[in-house]
Structure 1
Amino acid sequence: MDNIQIQTLTHSTKRTKKRLTQNQVSLLEWSFNYNPKLEPERKMQLSRELGLAPRQVAIWYQNKRARSKTQSLEIDYNTLQQKLDTVLADKRRLEREVGRLRGELEKAHEILLASNPTHPPLSCDEAMNGSSSLAMEELYACLMG
């Protein structure tokens, strides 16, 4: 029988959680937005105004700071994700453009070789040194259109 009495006492001493009223939450939110750091005198003032224990006010502030930090991290993550998506799209676009330009260069090179079969193929260095200005003009004309 003693065991049953002990269980009954422990169940009856447990506190039931009470939800804050909308007015209490509104005042706490307003106070938090004004200053997220809870000073002891502000905690006591809110406790009196809201009819809550000072510890309950302190815990609400602590939980609110944790939620705010989580929300901030989510916003930062989403912003970074959008930037990453944009950069990856730019990278794919540039890779396609490089492929297209390489194709044009190869085509121009083939046209140049076909139009001037007596000269050996020019390397980029030779072309840049001006050894064949005619070949460069033909290449330019081919690339431009």
Structure 2
Amino acid sequence: MGSDEEEEEDSGARKKLRLTKEQSSLLEDKFKEHSTLNPKQKQALAKQLNLRPRQVEVWFQNRRARTKLKKTEVELEFLRRCCETLTEEKRRLQKELQDLEKSHKLSAPRHMQIPATCPSCKKVIGGAETGSPLPASWPRFFNPFAHHAA
């Protein structure tokens, strides 16, 4: 089946691999170049580091997992800050809306009809005085939905 080393691995009695600083440094450098290795690269790196190819493979898997976890943590923190900012802005806007509603309770209704002048007969349509001519200084608007039939 396998070598004595593999059988020893399967028994669960193996101790954790401790890499030298040089091994760690070279693995990190290779990871920066490529986060995955093809079988030839893995074999060559294992030989260079005096490790088994499986150890190199596991190191790269673990390193990718740590990288992904770190990226997720950074994104989570960014989203938390965004959420806090949006929550504060929502509270501020709700308070502003409440204040505006309080200050405008007794003022004019929200929906007012703006007077418009019929282009054919020059009569004012809508507003307070329907049918009265506008002063010359008053801006003349045309509302196509309120056209007066002359």
Q: TM-score, normalised by structure 2?
A: 0.64
Q: What is the CA-CA distance between 1:66 and the residue it aligns to?
A: 1.0
User: 2: distance between equivalents of 1:126 and 1:71?
Assistant: 56
Corresponding residue for 1:73?
A: 72
Corresponding residue for 2:128?
A: 131
Corresponding residue for 1:60?
A: 59
Q: Note closer, same or farther for the CA distance 1:55–1:127 as it changes in structure 2 (3 Å cut).
A: same
What stretches of structure 1 move > 6 A for 4+ residues in a row?
none
Unpaired stretches in structure 2, ≥5 consecutive residues: 1-7, 115-125, 130-150
Unpaired stretches in structure 1, ≥5 consecutive residues: 1-9, 113-121, 133-145
Q: Which amino acid aligns with 1:131?
A: A
Superposed CA offset, 1:5-40 (max 9, x none)? xxxxx9xx8333331111111110110111001111
Give percent identity, aligned residues only: 35
Corresponding residue for 2:21?
A: 22
Corresponding residue for 2:94?
A: 95
Give the secondary-structure state (helix, strand or coil) at the position aligned to 1:38.
Answer: coil
Q: Which amino acid aligns with 1:70?
A: L
Q: Which amino acid aligns with 1:86?
A: T
Superposed CA offset, 1:70-110 (max 9, x none)? 1111111111111111111111110111011112112xx2x
Q: Note closer, same or farther for the CA distance 1:50–1:81 as it changes in structure 2 (3 Å cut).
A: same
Bigger relative contact order, structure 1 or 2 (CA pairs below 8 A, ≥6 apart): 1
Count of aligned residue pairs for this structure pair: 108
